[in-house]
Each structure stands twice: as structure tokens, then as C-alpha cells.
Amino acid sequence: VQLQASGGGLVQAGGSLRLSCAASGLIFSSYCMAWFRQAPGKEREFVAGISWSGSSIGYLDSVKGRFTISKDNAKNTVDLQMNRLKPEDTAVYYCAAERSYIDNYYSQSARLYDNWGQGTQVTVSS
């Protein structure tokens, strides 16, 4: 399984970025996906998750209404649209995949994800 994240960069507060994660080596439609982030000196935290069909979606409270996760099973990609970015969103963002046996499921725990992308840096300046 390979996950390749892209789309990070430097943006001013209030701006937008779109992260994308391309997956290969797996039956993508059988996996729930998530985005996590890790800021310097902090633990990795759940940002957004989506079930294998996209029917169930969840977000970290602080990004609700600003971030949108989407999954394209035809293209094997999961995206994270990030709007109205804030300096506190600065972190390395990671996509993760977990084999799922039921729909309407994704995990918010990093320990349950077996597959990780390499991370992409997002820096929001004030």
C-alpha cells in the first residue's frame, strides 16, 4: 500500500489549500480514510475521516465548517479542502488508510491506521 500526499504549502491566514492523497496497492473502495496532522511538539491529531463509501464523515471540532474531506473511489484519491485557514492549522498533514469491513465507519485513533502517507507541510502565516 502506498499513499502519496500533496498540496501543502505556505498560505496567509484566511486563505485556502487543497490537499490530495493518491492511493495505490489496495482496493481503495474497501478502505476508510482520514487526515491527521502533527504540529511541532504536539501529538498527532485527527482532522477528518470518511467511510469507504463516503456516507459517514467526521471532523475535528476546530475545523468544522472550514475543512471538507472527500473520497473518489474511481480515482483512488482522498482530498481535504481547507478554507479560512488559521495559524493554528500549521502542521504536517498525513493521510491514512484503514481496511474497513463495514460502511459508516472511520476511526479517529491514529493507532488503528496501518497505512500512512509521507506527510505534507501546511504553514499558515498571520
Cα distances (angstroms) measured from residue 71 to each of 39, 67, 87, 124: 25, 14, 26, 25
pLDDT digits 0-9 by tens, 59-91: 999 999 999 999 999 999 999 999 999 999 999
- Coil, strand or helix: which one is 31? strand
Structure confidence by residue, pLDDT tens digits, 13-50: 999 999 999 999 999 999 999 999 999 999 999 999 99
Q: Kindly tell me if the per-residue pLDDT of 102 is higher than 90.
A: no
Could you tell me where the beta strands, DSSP code E, fall in the chain?
2-6, 9-12, 17-24, 31-38, 45-50, 57-59, 67-72, 77-82, 91-99, 115-116, 120-125
- pLDDT (average), residues 117-125: 97
CA–CA gap between residue 54 and residue 29 (Å, rounded): 10
Average pLDDT, the chain: 96
